[in-house]
Amino acid sequence: MTMDSAVVSAPAPPSPVAEGKAVADEAIAFNDVTVRFTTERGTVTALEKIAFSIKRGSFLTLLGPSGCGKSTLLRVIADLIQPSAGSATVLGVRPQAARKNRDIGFVFQDAALLPWRTALQNVALPLEIGGGRAPRGPRSPAELLELVGLGGWEQAYPHELSGGMRQRVAIARALVSGPKLLLMDEPFGALDEITRDRLNEELLHIWASTGTTIVFVTHSIYEAAFMAQEVLLLAARPGRVRELVRVGLPTPRKIALRETAEFVALAAHLRRVLESC
Amino acid sequence: MSEQATVLPMGAFVDDSAARAEFLAVKRRLLWRKRLLPLAAVLALLLIWWQSIEIFGIRPFIAPSPVAVGEVLVSRFDVLMENLLPTSIEAVLGFLLGNFAGIAIATAFVYSRTMEEAFFPIAVMINTIPVVAKAPILVLLLGNGMAPKIAIAALVCFFPTLVNMTRGLRDVSNEHVELMHILSATPREVFLKLRVYNALPYLFSALKIAASTAVIGAIVGEWIGSTTGIGALIISATYNFDSPLLYATIVVGSTFAALFFGVITMIERRVLKWHVTRQP
């Protein structure tokens, strides 16, 4: 209904490897990270000895059944949860340091916009935090709204926007301080399939045009396979790494890619691994 | 939104002036219905009241006819207004004082759990004392002037604001808190950019309650050893069996409370433009 096909003109995707080599090579490295929660009913191990690493500029999807700790893993990267054991390195430093450098952007499942702010004011929020000393990305809030296809909606309040539009605002907000790492927690999980497909394509454009490393949580096999350079498959109870699958599909990708034999084979492989969890 | 729709790539809006005009006409009709129906009901009740007095021959000191009340409203308008003035000053000052205190203490509670756990039960206990019992205590403490009435009005405003404001400042969504954490916001930024705004809808529902209870508080305060004010007039009219004046005084008092409520509602509409449940 309210979704327009926001075609984002994007340069060719940067070569992740070439860009990453310049600084520290790894965007994220987990070294046997374990997370336990203690509740009234006892201790639950959400993540058990998670170890993996991804290069800068990569697009990683976290895929697994509910209860496998995908969101917990994302929150360890964002310094929202501290590991009970093991250590995580984000952009070469501890997660806390990466957060304080404002190198991390986060997109929540239900947008989490502030309802008293217009779309433009919501996008500008990160620039106001930190006493005016907040880092500025290469694009202004207005340019970012344009980038996510919401030019003309600057003054709309969140309740005047559809679910897909709110999620676009949330993506623009996460990008405004020019983060090196974008974390997305099932960002399109609550959207209808058509809107989700469109936003998937657009997010790949944004990834290509910004060169940001993206970690994307999903429970859709197709979404995970379509978006990713790498898919991290997780098993549940306790959450542990099943397999890190490298995706060799060509970029830039269009939704029609899902009908190709390679894609079908990849999705089938992911499904088999998940079923064996 | 509607003027934007024509320029934006929404695609869904088509300009159909006839259908639009009809839609607006229906909407207007419903609005007038909503306004006129209560008015008609009030008029009908007044008519029934008036006719019952006439038919059953009820004597004026038991219940006056609405016509007599109307006559008093006109003939003794100056007396009524003279007495409304102190009551309205007490109510408004008490409203400001009580709500200011409620907001300040709610802020302290949100910053310090210890404060909340120590003092909230005391606030609950004070709130359980009925207004009519608090009034004599405050008159003894503060003398016979306006001060005790302002204090009573403030006390009745204080509690709903304290409870609602504390809840509004605390009930921020988890994701908003996580967002602020990821942005490395200071506690002060979290308070000013998140908690205060989050509390505004809660605050306004408390302020609307407070607007009418502040007037009640001031009137109850005037019942005890006061010579002016709506409360004092109610007492003296009752003792003199002057029921038309009693009723007229009540009409003036509640009209003032309703106006006060209306002003707060208007401010709420301006401030909470963004709020979803706001009624246009």
Q: What is the ipTM of this complex?
A: 0.84
Q: Which of A166, A148, A277 is nearest to A207 (CA)?
A: A148
Q: Spell B180-212 as b/e; 16+ CB within 10 A means b.
A: bebbbbeeebbbebbbbbbbbbbbbebbbbbbb
pLDDT number for residue B4: 42
pLDDT number for residue A8: 38
Answer for the pair A51, A30: CB distance below 8 angstroms, yes or no: yes
| Tokens matching residue B68 | 């007599």
User: Is A2 within 8 Å of B184 when comparing Cβ atoms?
Assistant: no
Domain boundaries, chain B: 2-56, 66-271
pLDDT number for residue B10: 46
Q: Is B8 on the interface with A (CB under 8 A)?
A: yes
What structural domains does chain A harbor?
16-103+181-275 (3.40.50.300), 113-179 (no CATH)
**What span, in angstroms and rounded, lies between the C-alpha atoms of B152 and B132?**
9
Residues in chain B: 280
Give contacts of A75 with chain B, Cβ < 8 Å: 178
Q: Is A152 in a helix, a strand, or coil?
A: coil
Share of chain B above pLDDT 70, in %: 93
Round the average pLDDT of chain B to a whole number and report it. Answer: 88
Q: Show Cβ contacts of residue B266 under 8 Å, excluding neighbours closer than 6 positions.
A: none
Min Cα separation A118/chain B (Å): 8
Cβ neighbour number for residue B40 with a 10 Å cutoff: 10
Q: Is B1 on the interface with A (CB under 8 A)?
A: yes
Across the A:B interface, residue pairs with CB atoms under 8 Å apart total 77
pLDDT number for residue B13: 62
Q: Residue A1: which of B12, B180, B193 has the nearest Cβ?
A: B12
Q: Which pLDDT tens digit goes with each residue over A202-225? A: 889 889 888 899 999 998 999 999
Q: Is B35 on the interface with A (CB under 8 A)?
A: no
pLDDT number for residue B7: 43
User: Is A115 within 8 Å of B275 when comparing Cβ atoms?
Assistant: yes
Q: Show Cβ contacts of residue B38 under 8 Å, excluding neighbours closer than 6 positions.
A: none
**What span, in angstroms and rounded, lies between the C-alpha atoms of A74 and A84?**
15
pLDDT number for residue A130: 79
Cβ neighbour number for residue B63 with a 10 Å cutoff: 18
Q: Residue B184: which of A2, A100, A159 has the nearest Cβ?
A: A100
Torsion of CA B273, B277, B162, B135, to 10 degrees: 100
In what order do the strands lie in the sheet containing A59-63? A104-107, A181-185, A213-218, A59-63, A230-235, A240-246
Give contacts of B178 with chain A, Cβ < 8 Å: 75, 78, 80, 106, 108, 112
Q: Which of A198, A191, A203, A208 is nearest to A255 (CA)?
A: A198
Q: Which of A31, A172, A76, A43 is nearest to B178 (CA)?
A: A76
pLDDT number for residue A6: 37
Per-residue pLDDT of chain A (277 residues; tens, 9 = 90+): 333 433 333 344 444 444 334 346 788 989 988 899 888 888 888 888 888 889 998 999 999 888 788 999 999 999 999 999 988 999 988 999 888 888 899 999 888 999 999 999 999 999 988 766 677 888 889 988 988 888 889 889 999 898 889 999 999 999 898 889 999 999 988 888 888 888 899 889 889 888 899 999 998 999 999 999 999 999 888 888 888 889 888 878 888 888 888 889 999 999 998 887 6
Q: Residue B184: which of A2, A130, A152 has the nearest Cβ?
A: A130
Query: Does the structure show a pLDDT above 70 at B204?
Result: yes
Min Cα separation A115/chain B (Å): 6
Q: Residue A112: which of B175, B273, B275 has the nearest Cβ?
A: B175
**What span, in angstroms and rounded, lies between the C-alpha atoms of B222 and B146?**
9
pLDDT number for residue B5: 41
pLDDT number for residue B280: 41
Q: Residue B11: which of A4, A125, A160 has the nearest Cβ?
A: A4
pLDDT number for residue A2: 39
Type of residue found at B129: I
Paired with A240 in beta bridges are A235
Distance, CA of B171 to chain centre: 23
pLDDT number for residue A18: 41
State the pairing for strand pair A59-63/A85-90. unpaired
Q: Which pLDDT tens digit goes with each residue over B232-264? A: 999 999 999 899 999 999 999 999 999 999 999
Query: Does the structure show a pLDDT above 80 at B15?
Result: no
First and final C-alpha spacing in chain B: 13
User: Is A78 within 8 Å of B182 when comparing Cβ atoms?
Assistant: yes
What stretch of H or E contains B49? Answer: helix B17-56
Q: Is B197 on the interface with A (CB under 8 A)?
A: yes
**How much is the average pLDDT of B19-30?**
89
The superfamily in CATH containing domain B66-271 is MetI-like (1.10.3720.10)
In what order do the strands lie in the sheet containing A42-55? A42-55, A26-39, A85-90
